Structure 1
C-alpha cells in the first residue's frame, strides 16, 4: 500500500517518529525524516535510506520549506505525519506552568498540524487524494495528570483532526489521529532498549498499530486498546470518570517515589 509513496514524518529523529520512518521505509516508501535535531534526523535517514530535513515545526515557514524540499527530492507528498511533540509538566497547581510553556504546547501540538495541513491540502485536493496523520495522545481523549497544558493542547489536536476528516473526506483525503498512552521514548527518558509491559509499550508497537490503522483507514488509532474503555466510561458517566482520575492522582502522589510524571505508567 505504501510502496513508492512519499511520506513525511516530523519529530522523526527518535521515538515514535523514528519507528514510523523505519517502518514505512521497510514498506518501500520514500521517507522524509524531519526533526528539530538535524543530526538525529540525519542518523535515521541514513538508517532508512531516506531524506533528512531539519525543521522547527513551530515556524510555518520552516514547515513550508520542509514540504517543498520533500516534494523536490522525493515527489508529491502522499502522507504527512505530524508527530513532533513534547511534555513539560507543571510545577504545582493546574495553571502553574508559565505562559511560555502553554504557548509552546499550543505551537507544537496544534499549530504545527495546522501549518502542515495548510501547506499540503491544496495539492492533495487537486490530486484527489492524500493522507494526513496527526499523532496526538490518549491525553487528548482523557487527560494527563500533572500537565494541563499538554492535555489541553492534545484535546485541540484531536479536535482539529476531526475537522480535517469531516471537511475533506469528499476530497479523497484520509485522516487519522493517533492517541497512545505511555510509550518508551526519550519523552519519558526511555529508549528502544527499555523493558515494556502493562501500559508501557514500545515505539515499534505504536508504528505497527499506525500501519494497521492506516491500512484500515481508521480515524482513531489506539495503540492501547484499553483507552476505548476509558473513553466510553467518560462519555457515559463523566463524574465517575473524574472521581476515578482523582483517585489515581492521590495514589500516584502517595506511592510514587518522587512524583515524577515519567513514572505514571506504573500506576495505570
Structure 2
C-alpha cells in the first residue's frame, strides 16, 4: 500500500501503539483521524501531530471504538476533512476480565472492544472498498491471539477471535482489492501492560509477568516502525517479536507438548515448581 496521501483512522490512539502508529503514518505522508475514549489525551495527540507536521494532518474524535455510531461518525469526519478512508487501524483494546471468575460484563467488554469493534468497522468500510477496488484493514490483535495469555481467558479468547476475523476478511475480500494485516506483538511498553503490575485483579500480575518474561518489551515506536514496513509490503501477519513465529510453529507441530510447556511456564511464574 502507498501510505503517502492515504487517509487513515486509528482507534485507541491516545497513547501507546495507536498514537505511535498515527505519528508514523503522518510521517509517511498520510492524514489521520485518531479516536479514543480519553478525549483530552487523544486531542493532545492530534495537536502534537499537527504541530510536528506543520499543518492539519490529524483530527481527533472521542468515543468508544466498538460503538457503531462512533464508527460511522468517525468515517464521515475523515471523509469530510481529508477524503475517503483508505486505511483503518483497529487498535483499541481492553484487558477487562481475567479467569473463570470473570463476570458477564467483563466478557462482554472484552469481546466488544477486542473483536466486535473490528467487525463493525469492516462492515462500515469494506463495501465501499470493494467498489473502489482498494482498501486496507489493520487489526491489532496480540501474540495471545496466536498462542494464549497466561492468566486471562477474556483476553486470549477475544484476541484469538480478532485474528480469526482478520484471516476471514483477507480470504473473503482479498481478491476484491481489500488488504488485511494482523498485528500480533508480545510485550510492548504501554499502559495496558504496565497496569497489570499494579492491579488487584486475580491473575493480572501473572499475566503481565508472563508477557514481560517471554521476551524483549518493545517501545510503541519500534512496533510502529514494523507496522509501516508491513503495510508497505502488504504482509498479513505482523510479528514485531520474531520469536512468536517459532512459538506458533511449535504449537502447530505438537499442541500437547506446547500445552505442557505452557503449564510448566505458568507454574514457574506462580512460584510453584513441579514435584
Please report the TM-score for the alignment, with normalisation by the length of structure 1.
Answer: 0.89
Q: Does 1:117 align with 2:117?
A: no
Q: Does 1:67 align with 2:75?
A: yes
In the alignment, is the contact (CA less than 8 A) between 1:176 and 1:217 conserved in 2?
yes
In the alignment, is the contact (CA less than 8 A) between 2:35 and 2:65 conserved in 1?
no
Matches of 1:213 and 1:199 in 2, distance apart? 20
CA-to-aligned-CA distance 1:224-249 (integer Å, 9 cap, x gap): 11000000010010011001110111
CA-to-aligned-CA distance 1:162-206 (integer Å, 9 cap, x gap): 11000111111110000000100011227xxxxx99421110111
Number of aligned positions between the proteins: 247
Q: CA deviation at 1:123?
A: 1.2
Q: CA deviation at 1:51?
A: 0.5
Q: Which residue of 2 aligns with 1:193?
A: none
Matches of 2:263 and 2:60 in 1, distance apart? 43
In the alignment, is the contact (CA less than 8 A) between 1:55 and 1:66 conserved in 2?
no
In the alignment, is the contact (CA less than 8 A) between 1:10 and 1:34 conserved in 2?
yes
Q: Which of residues 213, 217, 242 in structure 2 aligns to 1:200?
A: 217
Q: CA deviation at 1:113?
A: 0.2
Q: CA deviation at 1:89?
A: 4.7
4+ runs of 1 displaced by more than 3 Å?
A: none
Please report the TM-score for the alignment, with normalisation by the length of structure 2.
Answer: 0.87
Q: Does 1:160 align with 2:165?
A: yes
Q: Which residue of 1 aligns with 2:9?
A: 8
Q: Which residue of 2 aligns with 1:37?
A: 38
RMSD across aligned positions (CA): 1.4
Q: Which residue of 2 aligns with 1:246?
A: 263
Describe the shift of the 1:89–1:182 C-alpha distance in structure 2 as closer, same or farther (beyond 3 A). Answer: farther
Q: Which of residues 153, 175, 188 in structure 2 aligns to 1:148?
A: 153
Q: Which residue of 1 aligns with 2:231?
A: 214
Q: Does 1:105 align with 2:110?
A: yes
In the alignment, is the contact (CA less than 8 A) between 2:97 and 2:107 conserved in 1?
no
Q: Which residue of 2 aligns with 1:21?
A: 22
In the alignment, is the contact (CA less than 8 A) between 2:3 and 2:232 conserved in 1?
no
Matches of 1:235 and 1:189 in 2, distance apart? 30
Q: CA deviation at 1:86?
A: 1.2
